[in-house]
Chains A and B, each alone.
Chain A
Amino acid sequence: MEGPQLEKIDDFTWRIPKQGPMRTEGILFANETLMKGIRGDECVQQVMNVACLPGIVGPSIAMPDIHWGYGFPIGGVAAFDSREGVVSPGGVGYDINCGVRLIRTHLEEKKVRPQIRGLIEALFREIPAGVGSRRHDVRLSVADEKQVLSKGVRWAVENGFGEAQDLERIESHGTLPGADPSCVSQRSLERGRDQLGTLGSGNHFLEIEVVQEIFDLNVARAFGLFEGQVVVHIHSGSRGLGYQICDDYIEVMLKAAQKYKIDLPDRQLCCAPLISQEAQDYLAAMSAAANYAFCNRQLMTHFTRRAFENFFKASPGDLGMEIVYDVAHNIAKMEDHVWKGEKKRVCVHRKGATRAFPANHPELTAQYQSVGQPVFIPGDMGRYSYVLVGEPRAMEIAFGSCCHGAGRVMSRMKAKKASKGRNIFREMEDRGIIVRSQSLDGVREEISEAYKDVADVVDVVHHGGLARKVAKLCPMGVIKG
């Protein structure tokens, strides 16, 4: 398919010139290799569609892991002026505050690798995974659930699911202000009641990884990372509660777009002016879901710590299981940015994109002020993931954002066809990786070749100056949703 014209700016940046109803240009971060898969793909049109929305500040941005989403592309970043712009649930996605968290340990590979199968089994018992996974030990009352939505990780810490210092190492300290449970439907509450502390399915995972390579020793030290160290990587979101909130507000925004006479190139881009009641209600509900997601990852952290303590018969102090950081990659946030010399309050939509603030940013915890924000980019289950650190250029050209993962190249259906007749568990074991899952189909959909090589993706943000490589992590054990 012949797609729209793309102009090369440099080896890692491409421009989609403003055309037709676009209010601004599109900017795409990719190298020649990744461009082969992007050119002619529908996701380029989606970047252009986002550029048509009112009040957009700067370009409609696409990260190197971009792929076709619904409405907004996955891997898209767009900022909207707080007075003239809009907010769109489709610009956040169904899994509100889907994100990743990295937990470091004092353990080294040589101690853990011989016992990895047992450790993965212990974690699999502690953390429900798979379609519709539920917890029977943490079924929230309505009042508790509303507290989770308002307080996020603070609720978890107050209820014994973590330590006060955990809050310091989570984006927005694990609590988005402005969350209002009264903007959340009964249906959402019902779907969220027994899913806190569960992994879910799809590409969500809990991995035991080893730090295989360090690229930046100083920053790695600041993050508490060293070669040969065992870390835990968790990827999950707001579960059924977030899906339902997105679903509810898409209906609200379809009506709002008509009411405020916003032309939509695609219904899934439905939105409302940020100054409208509809937008404020959505942001209050979305923040509540974001708090639920932070809290979900916090509970999984708690149960992971417990599983490690029991398995290794060691104290929390011996294990040193501290959070390195926790970042969202499906979210809309009100932030201050300088665009073309002008200070602006904008609503930054990151859908499949990670916040990547550089050193000295006021929102960063004191511990990371001198180095910058940790960013985690998971790859596929058979290869590797990366730890990066936010760079100043991310603020200049991408509203403090970078990529979020490898990005699929194969549909789930194709991946299942490609893995037919193969024993994926055995193949992974041959590569030194133990995989555990409730669903055989789920594992087949997640085979390595279904994803781009995350090294290519990370290479672009590294050389493009959005975030710098700090460490490479390799999986030893994987729990797949």
Chain B
Amino acid sequence: MKPRFEWLDHTGDVGIRVYGRDLREIFVYATKALREALVSGEGRRQKKPLVLDLFSDSSEILLLHFLKEILYFFETQKGLPLRLDIKKLEENHIVADVWTDLFDPRYHVLKTEIKAVTYHQLSIQKVEQGYQAQVIFDV
């Protein structure tokens, strides 16, 4: 079976290509990829989730905004996404609880500083087996 995401070889930045049977899986594996780009290891689980309710013009921009929110939460609250509980997902609307663990240098190793999630070559495409998405992070 194809891995659910792969790293893209981009000279300056870090990119991901994500595969999913449906949009839900695209969001789940893109979030997992973002986490793996940021850290390795697992810390203490938070009792309350980050609750996101986002609207956008298209599914690809929705994915970009979703990842941006998770990145901002990490930057300011040190929370890292562990598991998504997607309550609603349409082309332009997502409602999800993002369950997180708290960054702790005793358990985590920081890997890459991601400055931003970019629009550069951002895409979500319908393919034979479901969906394929691409996101480039500025590092």
- Interface residues of A, Cβ cutoff 8 Å to B: 67-71, 74, 93-95, 130-132, 187, 190-191, 200-202, 240, 243-244, 246-247, 250, 254, 266-268, 270, 408-414, 438-439, 441-442, 481
Least distance between B70 CB and chain A CB atoms (Å): 13
Q: Are A267 and B119 in contact (CB under 8 A)?
A: yes
Q: Are A250 and B11 in contact (CB under 8 A)?
A: no
**Interface size class of chain B, counting residues whose CB lies under 8 Å from the partner chain:** 20 to 34
Name the residue on B nearest A191 (C-beta): B75
Q: In the docked arrangement, what's the CA distance between A327 and B42, Å?
A: 40
Q: In the docked arrangement, what's the CA distance between A481 and B13, Å?
A: 16
Q: In the docked arrangement, what's the CA distance between A175 and B14, Å?
A: 33
Taking CB atoms, residues of chain B closer than 8 Å to A410 are 11
Name the residue on B nearest A481 (C-beta): B113
Q: Are A266 and B113 in contact (CB under 8 A)?
A: no
Q: Are A131 and B12 in contact (CB under 8 A)?
A: no
| 21 contacts across the A-B interface (CB closer than 8 A) | A70-B119, A70-B120, A70-B138, A71-B120, A94-B116, A95-B115, A130-B110, A130-B113, A190-B76, A202-B113, A202-B139, A267-B120, A268-B119, A268-B120, A270-B119, A408-B11, A409-B11, A411-B11, A412-B112, A413-B9, A439-B109
Taking CB atoms, residues of chain A closer than 8 Å to B63 are none
B7 proximal to A (CB < 8 A): yes
Q: In the docked arrangement, what's the CA distance between A250 and B61, Å?
A: 13
Least distance between A451 CB and chain B CB atoms (Å): 11
Taking CB atoms, residues of chain A closer than 8 Å to B76 are 187, 190-191
Main secondary structure of the interface of B (DSSP, over half): mixed
Name the residue on A nearest B10 (C-beta): A411
Q: Are A132 and B11 in contact (CB under 8 A)?
A: no
- Interface residues of B, Cβ cutoff 8 Å to A: 7, 9-14, 38, 68, 72, 74-76, 109-113, 115-116, 118-120, 122, 136, 138-139
Name the residue on B nearest A70 (C-beta): B120
Known: A132-B75, A266-B120, A441-B111. Contact between A247 and B68, CB under 8 A?
yes
Count of chain A to chain B residue pairs whose CB atoms are closer than 8 Å in the complex: 84
Q: In the docked arrangement, what's the CA distance between A254 and B138, Å?
A: 18
Q: Are A408 and B112 in contact (CB under 8 A)?
A: no
Choose among B75, B138, B139 the residue that contacts A240 (Cβ–Cβ < 8 A): B75
Q: In the docked arrangement, what's the CA distance between A240 and B138, Å?
A: 12
Q: In the docked arrangement, what's the CA distance between A267 and B123, Å?
A: 12
Q: Are A67 and B12 in contact (CB under 8 A)?
A: yes
Q: Are B113 and A200 in contact (CB under 8 A)?
A: yes
Which 9 residue pairs are nearest across A and B when measured between Cβ atoms? Answer: A70-B120, A201-B113, A131-B110, A243-B115, A267-B119, A131-B113, A94-B115, A268-B120, A411-B9
Least distance between A412 CB and chain B CB atoms (Å): 6
Known: A191-B76, A266-B120. Contact between A68 and B10, CB under 8 A?
yes
Known: A247-B116, A412-B139. Contact between A68 and B110, CB under 8 A?
no
Choose among A243, A408, A439 the residue that contacts B12 (Cβ–Cβ < 8 A): A408
Taking CB atoms, residues of chain B closer than 8 Å to A240 are 75
Taking CB atoms, residues of chain A closer than 8 Å to B11 are 67-68, 408-411
